[in-house]
Amino acid sequence: MRIGLPATSDSLDVIIAQARSLEADGFTSLWFGGGILGDPLAGMTVVGRETTTLELGTSVLQTYPCHPLLQANRAASVANAIGRSFTLGIGPSHAPLVEGMYGMSYEHPGRSTEEYATIVAPLLRGEPVDFDGDDWSAHSPGVRVSHPVPLLLSAMSPRMLRIAGELADGTITFLAQAKALETHVVPRIRAAAAAAGRPEPRVVAGVQLAVHDDVNEVRATVDARAAILDPLPNYQRILAASGYERTADAAIGGDEQAVKRQLQNVIDAGATDIWACPIPVGDDPESSLRRTMDTLRELLG
């Protein structure tokens, strides 16, 4: 099972140590959230020079604050600097962040993202772009990409999944449990990729999980941290596709065998990778995390 984890600190030294440990243990990837280290691409460049086989990816960079031509140049610079590929995950984020933090319109996120991907995807392949859209335009002979930079799109709505299948190399989801993947995400993105003549897309499934015998305590812990997530329409829709109402409902919890079974269900539903977000639970959170990490290590390979 291909399993990656999120970078968990705003200390570059800590992330380097985490990356080395994950690589030694056989984990496949380390994912950098858009707010990590202020600019995750800067830190990723350093971490990439300290590791060799661990996939590094962004999960995800917001599209609105960065022009796609600049984004492609930044991505190419990172890959060139570390001397190997990394994975660029992008997404339009959410209205409260885009409007509240950047003062930008979130009126057409689907259109904006489609135009963005239309520009950035060919640039990452070293191809020229000559495109004028409603939200984004670019005219460039291309960027110098010495190493491939796969593009993943944070896609969970039908339109976004179509865009991801047609233009990107796959999707990164969050809170999409097995039912939502099997009935909603995977069929749509695969159909779009097939119709566009593209390879079968990658599906990186982000899940919150804890190996802990009291599942109710797991859900209560997630509930306490989910106040910012539950109201967001993008997450509400993907939760509803699994028959859930709250972020906590989608959390994976239980003893070792229960967690292994639920993660296998996610893979069986069509996910190619697990992006695992361990949740510390109980009176001894460090022990809880160790138990979860030990279980994940048993699933590697």
Sign of the CA dihedral with 124 first, then 129, 133, and 136 last: positive
Q: Between β-strands 129-132 and 137-140, what pairing exists: parallel, antiparallel or unpaired?
A: antiparallel
Strand partners, 132: 137
Helices (H), the chain: 12-25, 40-48, 68-82, 95-102, 109-124, 158-167, 178-180, 186-195, 215-225, 233-241, 256-268, 285-299
Residue 214 domain-assigned (yes or no) = yes
Cα gap 266→176, rounded to integer Å: 9
What confidence tens digit (pLDDT) does each residue in 186-229 have? Answer: 999 999 999 999 999 999 999 999 999 999 999 999 998 887 88
Residue owning tokens 């930044």: 74
What average pLDDT does the structure give for the chain?
95
Quick one: pLDDT band at residue 101, thresholds 50, 70, 90?
Answer: confident
State yes or no: pLDDT of 157 exceeds 80. Answer: yes
Structure tokens at 104: 């930008």
Q: What percentage of the chain reaches a pLDDT higher than 70?
A: 100
CATH code for the domain of 281: 3.20.20.30
**Cβ-count burial of 159 within 10 angstroms (0-12 exposed, 13-18 middle, 19+ buried)?**
middle
Residue 99 domain-assigned (yes or no) = no
CA distances, 24 to each of 20, 28, 298 (Å): 6, 10, 14
Q: Which amino acid is at 298?
A: E
Residue owning tokens 């190493």: 147
Q: For the residues 282-289, what does the mean pLDDT come to?
A: 92
Cis bond upstream, residue 60 (ω within 30) = yes
State yes or no: pLDDT of 301 exceeds 80. Answer: no
Q: Could you give the number of structural domains in the chain?
A: 1
What confidence tens digit (pLDDT) does each residue in 165-195 have? Answer: 999 999 999 999 999 999 999 999 999 999 9
Residue 246 domain-assigned (yes or no) = yes
Quick one: pLDDT band at residue 98, thresholds 50, 70, 90?
Answer: confident
What confidence tens digit (pLDDT) does each residue in 33-43 have? Answer: 998 999 999 99
Cα gap 4→279, rounded to integer Å: 15
Residue 32 domain-assigned (yes or no) = no
Q: Which amino acid is at 169?
A: D
Residue 240 domain-assigned (yes or no) = yes
Predicted TM-score (pTM) of the model is 0.96
Residue 113 domain-assigned (yes or no) = no
Residue 91 domain-assigned (yes or no) = no
Q: Are 273 and 279 in contact (CB under 8 A)?
A: no
What confidence tens digit (pLDDT) does each residue in 237-269 have? Answer: 999 999 999 999 999 999 999 999 999 999 999
Cα gap 247→254, rounded to integer Å: 16
Residue 301 domain-assigned (yes or no) = yes
Domain extent for 199: 172-301
Phi and psi for 92 in degrees, rounded to 5? Answer: -80, -5
